[in-house]
Amino acid sequence: MTQYLLNGLGLGAIYAFIALGYTMVYGIIRLINFAHGEFFMFGAYLGYFVLRDSGIDRLDLPQPLPIVLQYLAAVTAASLGAATLAVVTERVAYRPVRRAGRIAALITAVCVSLILQNLAVKAWEAKTRSYPDPRLWIAVADLGDRAPANLWIVRPFRTTGGDEIEREELVLSEGDPVDDAARARIRGTPDARVFKKITPSTEVAQGFVLLALVLWAPVLWFLVKRTRTGTAMRAVSEDMDAARLMGIPIDRIVSRTFFLGAFVAGVGGVGYCIAYGQVSPYTGFLPGMKAFIAAVIGGIGSIPGAIVGGILLGVAESIIPHLFRSELGWRDAFAWKDAIAFAFLFAFLLFRPTGLLGRATRVKV
Amino acid sequence: MYRIGRIVAPLCIALAASLSGCDKPEPERMRPEPKPTRPEPKRMRVGVILPMTGLQSTFGDESWKGMQLAVEDLRKQGFNPELILRDEKSQKTEAGNQAKLLIENERVHVLVGSVASGHTRQAAIEARESAIPLITPASTNDTITVEGGPYVSRICFKDSFQGAVLAKFALQRGWKSAVVVVDKGQPYSTGLADSFKSVFEKAGGKTQFEYYTSGETDFSNTVQNAANHKADAIVITGYYAEGGIMIRQGKEKWAGVPVLGGDGLDSPELVGLVGDTKAEIYVVSHFAADAPDERVRNFAKRYEERFGQAPGAMAALGYDVLLVLADVAKRCPDPADSKALARAIAETKGVECITGRIDLTTPDRTPIKDAVVVKVEGGLKFQATIPAQ
Amino acid sequence: MSGELLWWLNLLVGVGIFTLLATSLNLINGHAGMFHLGHHGFWALGAYATAWWTIRLDGELSGPVLYGTSLLLSTGVAAVGGLAVGLPCLRLRGDYLAIATLAFGEVVRILIQNSDKGFLGGSQGVRLPRVFGEFEGEAAKLEFRALSLALVATLCVLAIWAISNFIRSGHGRRLLAVAQDETAAGLMGIDPTRPRVLAFVIGAAVAGLAGGVHAHFEGSLAPQEFEFMQTVKMFLIVVLGGMGSLSGCVVGAFLVVGTERLLARAGGAIADWWQVIFPMVLAIMIVVRPQGIFGRRELSDWFRALRRRRAAP
């Protein structure tokens, strides 16, 4: 039972990260940014490329520093990249429709989401890619008599087609004696080193995301409550026209909101992919929708609401099917977990549309 | 009067609009060959439907590479088919649509494809309704050739055999209980699981089923559920994209428990997906590049030189389909006669292929061949051959 | 040559089905002003109801009777769905209604996907027996498609006639009033509930009908095809044609489905990029020309204007 609770918390933290972006954007311009899941996905891909190609892990620094640096670089690239994409999207697609009415804005948001998804498919193929495992490089001299784990080398390869590719080869299995033949093979490679793969377990990755959430929450609170930009954001979300009259530069504030929301989502993106080990152009779709539901549950427009909603949804998704299974003997319960998320959505929309922590808005005639 | 006008006029306008101009660039074809010096039998037009993009893209990509290699080899022997490739994008409905296009517009004589049984089924419906033969290189679900009727055949083994292989392997290793992790959405997965269960339980083993749906990424609950059963082995009957994730996520929970998979797991991608796991992973396959067989090794070497990677089962099966078609072409000079072509295919006997000897004279046009078991160890390494019974 | 004809018949039937879908979506979104993103859910309900009925009663009822009753069932089931969605959603506005209906569409798909194999086929999809006899060979296919086209065309005419009558009726006018300004309409004594629910029910029913035809025509269904993208496609048709114009839907359906099919067949660069281009077109249209081709006008208005111009010296 605790296991499922922990799974739920980890998943919930990821939903919370994404939900923050939804809620901030909705709060300020009353737009459900369907494309938010794609910002998340874009961040995840940037992280992927950094992890795969940057070579930071090969730097000659004491371990585990290269790995830590590589992850930091990945997260930074992901969040900055996602944030930039968000700002560009807002400028190009959402600003022109801001005055065009709800239906137009929503349709535009849906279209942007589809465009981004399919652009990703064109750029990176529709398949799932496995997230690269961090490589812990070990010099030949540092190897003992026996291989401490499965050890790999990297060998460049040229096909008759003329492509230059890099291939991983298993050179020693765990426990194999490190003999001269193996050493010679290792020295024959360009790096003259071996590496072992470190696969972060899902729990560890989820734990990190949870930790990141706990660290980020006060930072966000500070940004929103105590800085000028934050105050301006709150002002715009309360009454855009009044804020404009007070001299607040609406466009700039909206941009910054998008930036912040996507920045956080980018972090979530890398966390998600490390936890689940893969990325694809469709990675953003389902978590995006669930995070959106989480934002609604928590009260769309409310930042603490997004966090609460995210965690609640993640936990519910894990625990409820588990309970159905163990108490009611319902074997397939887990296949229905998406339906549970939607059921929550309906319930809240019908009975408490402002969510748990949202404010009720009054419509004046 | 207005109401009719409202319908007819837009119909005409729009008809004109959609008729006006779309020039049709050529779909992908093989490069044209030099002119023949003597008259040859009518050229066979083969419509190939494969998942070139999407979740099963590595299967499609490998199959196509195998086919290309085969066409190059067979051309030297005088068999010169025209291959028209269409992408089914790893989507069931698209497989059906592409089959329609190939049959109706490209006028192919025979269809080859696809990989996933659910997708092949759609293409098979079209083939049946148009009375055009279809050969699938890799779809293993039993019902496909039965439902499909006399026009549908395959060159790989079927799931009832594969399930038995999995069960035999498990029993040989002394495993008495198994958790079967099944993808509810794929007929391949459920069929294989059922066939494993029936053979395994008949021999005294115990099975428990855990379900998931493909398209998910978080299998931590499935992994947990499977681990809870504390079985001797875990059998994954789905495809590699999800199976790999599960094994990776099960690094701790499934520690020490061996994992068995069907040919859906049989992809070089699996090695990368499973990460740094210490689990013993065995996969049933049609082919292993390092098997102790001269033909296989030769093929693997040539494939690697041509494409820069070791061939997987899909490549070998793709190659074999063309070998079979070459044999069929010898016995059926006019491929446009689809009834004769279908009959010739169903009479195929004793064609020696990379994946074994292919004989389609069985009642459900499915060959009885050996299977191999490979182990995931930094790559897919040959483990054992399980003979056909 | 018959291959070409087969392809065209296929295209026209597709256009017909999407015309039905677009006009019904138009009724709910354009005329009633309710933001409905789950239309594919009604379509799925109709299709699967037909499939279920056809499979259960294949052999017991004759071909045409089976076909007809299955369509009636699909319309009915979808209409009930429309009621189920319309009633609770009365309290929701704008964005919230959009999310709720989107969720509905997805829930239908999930329910079908997780259903028991024996009941609705589950994820693997379901295959319908051909009610007019299984066919083999081109001639039979041709006959079937031509028949289907005749049927779909008739249904389109009927549906458009029914919807335009509804709009002209008292209910329809009340609906338009409520859509334009709910408070003002309320002050005039118009209860928004009934016309809104009616719009949902009628829209759902027509979509269900389209589902039934689709099920029989394709011969097999898979829950994956009833995804949100289909509703976006319907939106493109409606927006292109003009939200609020029925003729617009027909023209839009021809343009969108026609282009899609032609590209799929031709292959090439544009076809590859279609999934990117089509939402882009929709997004641009919404900004640049939100009224689409026809706006709120019908083709008959254009004829009338022509006649008037000719009459005046």
CA nearest B211 in A: which residue?
A332
What pLDDT does residue B217 have? 66
Domains delineated in chain B = 41-157+296-369 (3.40.50.2300), 159-285 (3.40.50.2300)
Q: Decide: residue B33, CB within 10 A, 0-12 exposed, 13-18 middle, 19+ buried.
A: exposed
Q: Residue A346 and residue A329: Cα distance in Å, rounded?
A: 25
What pLDDT does residue B58 have? 83
Hunting for tokens 């029925």 — which residue is that?
C246
- In chain C, residues with a C-beta closer than 8 Å to the C-beta of A110 are 37, 232, 279
pLDDT at C73 over 90: yes
- In chain B, residues with a C-beta closer than 8 Å to the C-beta of C10 are 100
Do B128 and C156 make contact, defined as CB atoms within 8 angstroms? no
- What's the complex ipTM? 0.83
Summarised one tens digit per residue, pLDDT across range B344-365 is 999 988 888 888 888 888 888 8
Summarised one tens digit per residue, pLDDT across range C85-100 is 888 877 777 777 888 8
- In chain C, residues with a C-beta closer than 8 Å to the C-beta of B92 are 125, 222, 224
**For residue A37, what are the CA distances in angstroms to A22, A206, A231?**
9, 19, 26
pLDDT at B2 over 50: no
Give the residues across from B353 on adjacent strands. Answer: B356
- In chain A, residues with a C-beta closer than 8 Å to the C-beta of C101 are none
Within its chain, how far is the Cα of A342 from the centroid?
21
Q: Residue C86 and residue C209: Cα distance in Å, rounded?
A: 18
Is residue A34 classed as helix, strand or coil in its secondary structure?
coil
In this prediction, what percent of chain C has a pLDDT beyond 70? Answer: 98
In this prediction, what percent of chain C has a pLDDT beyond 90? Answer: 30
Hunting for tokens 């060979």 — which residue is that?
C137
In sequence order, the 6+-apart residues with CB closer than 8 A to the CB of B348 are: B324, B327, B328, B358, B359, B360, B361
Q: Say if CB A254 and CB A244 are below 8 A apart.
A: no
Q: Residue B179 and residue B234: Cα distance in Å, rounded?
A: 5
Do B54 and A128 make contact, defined as CB atoms within 8 angstroms? no
- In chain A, residues with a C-beta closer than 8 Å to the C-beta of B220 are 7, 10-11, 202
Q: Which amino acid is at A84?
A: T
**Separation in Å, CA of A198 to nearest CA in chain B:** 6
**Average of per-residue pLDDT across B147-169:** 90
What pLDDT does residue B41 have? 59
- Pair of tokens at residue C241: 């044609």
CA nearest C291 in A: which residue?
A104
In this prediction, what percent of chain B has a pLDDT beyond 70? Answer: 88
Do B209 and A331 make contact, defined as CB atoms within 8 angstroms? yes
CA nearest B55 in A: which residue?
A127
pLDDT at C145 over 80: yes
Question: Phi and psi at residue B7, in whole multiples of 5°?
Answer: -90, -50
C-alpha closest to that of A289 among A215, A341, A213: A341
**CATH class label, A2-130+201-351:** mainly alpha
Sequence ranges of the domains in chain A: 2-130+201-351, 135-197
Is residue B11 classed as helix, strand or coil in its secondary structure?
helix
Identity of the residue in A114, A122, A343 whose CB atom sits nearest the CB atom of C232: A114
- In chain C, residues with a C-beta closer than 8 Å to the C-beta of B96 are 218, 220
- In chain A, residues with a C-beta closer than 8 Å to the C-beta of C114 are 332, 335-336, 339
Start-to-end CA span in chain B (Å): 73
Question: Phi and psi at residue B348, in whole multiples of 5°?
Answer: -60, 130
**Average of per-residue pLDDT across C7-31:** 92
Highest-scoring range by mean pLDDT, B19-28, B122-131, B184-193: B122-131
**For residue C293, what are the CA distances in angstroms to C13, C44, C60, C249, C262?**
23, 29, 48, 10, 21
Mutation target vs A (from C102, C180, C237, C278; most A CBs, 10 A cutoff):
C102
Q: Residue B144 and residue B118: Cα distance in Å, rounded?
A: 9
Q: Does A124 touch chain C (CB under 8 A)?
A: no
**Separation in Å, CA of A155 to nearest CA in chain C:** 35
Segment among A53-62, B2-11, C160-169 with least mean pLDDT: B2-11
Q: Residue B79 and residue B319: Cα distance in Å, rounded?
A: 14
What pLDDT does residue B1 have? 39
Q: Say if CB B372 and CB B291 are below 8 A apart.
A: yes
Q: Does B97 touch chain C (CB under 8 A)?
A: yes
Please report the number of interchain residue pairs, chain A to chain C, with beta-carbon separation below 8 angstroms: 92
pLDDT at B78 over 90: no
In sequence order, the 6+-apart residues with CB closer than 8 A to the CB of C56 are: none
In sequence order, the 6+-apart residues with CB closer than 8 A to the CB of C118 are: none
Do C111 and A296 make contact, defined as CB atoms within 8 angstroms? no
C-alpha closest to that of B273 among B307, B238, B305: B238
Give the residues across from B382 on adjacent strands. Answer: B374
> What does the pLDDT profile of chain A (365 residues) look like in tens digits?
777 888 888 888 888 988 988 888 888 888 888 899 999 999 999 999 988 887 777 777 777 788 888 888 999 999 999 999 999 999 998 988 887 777 788 889 989 999 998 899 888 877 778 788 778 888 777 777 777 777 888 777 665 455 566 677 777 777 777 778 878 878 777 777 888 887 777 777 778 888 888 888 888 888 888 888 888 988 888 888 888 899 999 899 999 999 999 998 998 888 888 877 788 888 888 888 888 888 888 887 788 888 899 998 888 888 888 887 777 776 666 667 777 778 878 787 777 777 777 765 555 55
| Ranges assigned E (strand) in chain B | 45-50, 82-87, 110-113, 134-136, 152-154, 177-183, 206-212, 233-236, 259-261, 281-285, 351-353, 356-358, 371-376, 380-386
pLDDT band at B183 (very low <50, low <70, confident <90, very high): confident
Give the residues across from A166 on adjacent strands. Answer: A156
Do A278 and B224 make contact, defined as CB atoms within 8 angstroms? no
Given a contact as 3+ CB pairs under 8 Å, which chains touch B?
A, C
Segment among A258-267, B130-139, B180-189, C153-162 with least mean pLDDT: B180-189
The angle at the Cα of A258, spanning A253 to A263, to the nearest 5 degrees, equals 125
C-alpha closest to that of C242 among C289, C301, C302, C303: C289
Hunting for tokens 């799925």 — which residue is that?
C44
Residue B105 is given by DSSP the state: I
Q: Are strands B206-212 and B233-236 parallel, antiparallel or unpaired?
A: unpaired
Q: Say if CB C301 and CB C293 are below 8 A apart.
A: no
Q: Does A286 touch chain C (CB under 8 A)?
A: no
pLDDT at B19 over 50: no
Do B53 and A276 make contact, defined as CB atoms within 8 angstroms? no
What pLDDT does residue A336 have? 72
What pLDDT does residue B22 have? 37
Q: Decide: residue B379, CB within 10 A, 0-12 exposed, 13-18 middle, 19+ buried.
A: middle
Do A346 and C272 make contact, defined as CB atoms within 8 angstroms? no
C-alpha closest to that of A336 among C109, B179, C101: C109
Give the residues across from B376 on adjacent strands. Answer: B380
Q: Are strands B152-154 and B134-136 parallel, antiparallel or unpaired?
A: parallel
In sequence order, the 6+-apart residues with CB closer than 8 A to the CB of A247 are: none
Residue C122 is given by DSSP the state: G
A 37-66 residues with CB < 8 A to C: none
pLDDT at B29 over 50: no
Length of chain A: 365
Identity of the residue in B53, B252, B306 whose CB atom sits nearest the CB atom of A125: B53
- In chain C, residues with a C-beta closer than 8 Å to the C-beta of A299 are none
**Average of per-residue pLDDT across C288-311:** 79
Identity of the residue in B225, B251, B308 whose CB atom sits nearest the CB atom of A159: B308
What integer best gives the mean pLDDT of chain C?
86
Mutation target vs C (from B1, B4, B8, B11; most C CBs, 10 A cutoff):
B11
Q: Are strands A129-130 and A278-279 parallel, antiparallel or unpaired?
A: antiparallel
Is residue B170 classed as helix, strand or coil in its secondary structure?
helix
What pLDDT does residue B17 have? 40
Length of chain B: 389
pLDDT band at B68 (very low <50, low <70, confident <90, very high): very high
Start-to-end CA span in chain A (Å): 51
Q: Say if CB A86 and CB A39 are below 8 A apart.
A: yes
Segment among A43-52, B12-21, B204-213, B252-261 with least mean pLDDT: B12-21
Mutation target vs C (from A28, A36, A90, A103; most C CBs, 10 A cutoff):
A103
What pLDDT does residue A161 have? 52
Identity of the residue in A150, A163, A275 whose CB atom sits nearest the CB atom of B308: A163
pLDDT at C296 over 60: yes
- Pair of tokens at residue B311: 């061939």
In sequence order, the 6+-apart residues with CB closer than 8 A to the CB of C39 are: C21, C24, C25, C28, C101, C105, C203, C207, C230, C231, C234
Given a contact as 3+ CB pairs under 8 Å, which chains touch C?
A, B
Summarised one tens digit per residue, pLDDT across range B282-295 is 999 988 888 888 88
- Pair of tokens at residue C218: 């394709």
**Separation in Å, CA of B88 to nearest CA in chain C:** 11
Q: Does B249 touch chain A (CB under 8 A)?
A: yes
